[in-house]
């Protein structure tokens, strides 16, 4: 009695289509489970780029603008520091920044804030860095000076200053004006960030 021989031409082992579908399924699992995690990784903080944010509303209601007071000025550095109530929300800070922009465009900003460049041919706010804080201990000129010096200024030269990294994380809002730079005359943000150095605070979000 002889054993049954395999039929000639019959494939032995796993069918190639099964292998192909298995590979496709494996790739799908990789893309679904691995890649989204890398997209959601936080990148804020010193030396990083800001995350992509949900677009902000173009104009916030003027009813949201919080009360504020000027807490510091440095004429030679075109700095103004402001204090808003500690309970101010990000939406209120955005409304405040937008109100400053509107006032600048209709030439009434000098009725709200002290001019930073009163003698400049381009106007009273040709150059300005306006920092908004909600904590009195950080709302003075020391924080603003540290921020204006930049992320890479050697700290040992300024031992009495509030450290840049500390000041940056306490900024609620920032409005920068440079009418001499026609390509980027103004920008504003929740939090604080430097496009030139790629350093951004944890709460950084561009407003305009």
Burial per residue of 46-66, b for 16 or more beta-carbon CB atoms within 10 angstroms, e otherwise: eeeebeeeeebeeebeeebbb
The model carries a pTM of 0.73
CA dist., res. 192 & res. 194, Å (int): 7
H or E stretch including 166? helix 164-169
CB 133 within 8 A of CB 146: no
Domain ranges of the chain: 62-206
Helix, strand, coil % (nearest 5) of the chain?
35, 20, 50
Token pair recorded at residue 175: 């409005």
Token pair recorded at residue 63: 């009813």
Question: Residue 36's pLDDT is what?
Answer: 46
CA dihedral (175, 169, 134, 145) positive or negative: negative
Question: Residue 32's pLDDT is what?
Answer: 60
Question: Residue 20's pLDDT is what?
Answer: 63
CA dihedral (168, 79, 67, 190) positive or negative: negative
- Which residues in the chain land under pLDDT 50? 36-44, 46-47, 51-55
Helix (H, G, I), strand (E, B) or coil at 60: coil
Spatial CA neighbour of 52 closest among 60, 65, 43, 61:
43
Spatial CA neighbour of 116 closest among 106, 107, 108, 126:
126
Q: What does the pLDDT look like over 31-72, one tens digit per residue?
A: 665 554 433 334 445 445 564 444 455 677 778 999 999 999
Question: Residue 90's pLDDT is what?
Answer: 97
């Amino acid at each position: 009695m002889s054993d049954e021989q395999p039929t000639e031409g019959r494939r032995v082992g796993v069918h190639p289509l099964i292998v192909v579908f298995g590979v496709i399924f494996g790739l799908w699992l990789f893309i679904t489970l691995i890649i989204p995690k890398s997209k959601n990784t936080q990148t804020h903080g010193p030396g990083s780029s800001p995350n992509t944010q949900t677009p902000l509303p173009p104009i916030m209601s003027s009813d949201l603008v919080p009360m504020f007071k000027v807490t510091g000025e440095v004429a030679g550095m075109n700095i103004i520091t402001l204090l808003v109530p500690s309970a101010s929300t990000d939406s209120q800070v955005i409304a405040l920044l937008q109100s400053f922009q509107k006032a600048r465009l209709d030439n009434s900003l000098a009725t709200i804030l002290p001019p930073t460049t009163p003698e400049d041919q381009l106007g009273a706010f040709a150059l300005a860095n306006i920092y908004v804080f909600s904590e009195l201990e950080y709302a003075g000129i020391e924080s603003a000076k540290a921020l204006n010096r930049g992320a890479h200024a050697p700290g040992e030269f300024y031992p009495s200053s509030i450290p840049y990294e500390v000041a940056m994380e306490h900024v609620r809002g920032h409005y920068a004006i440079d009418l001499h730079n026609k390509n980027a005359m103004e920008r504003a943000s929740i939090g604080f960030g430097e496009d030139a150095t790629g350093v951004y605070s944890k709460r950084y979000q561009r407003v305009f």
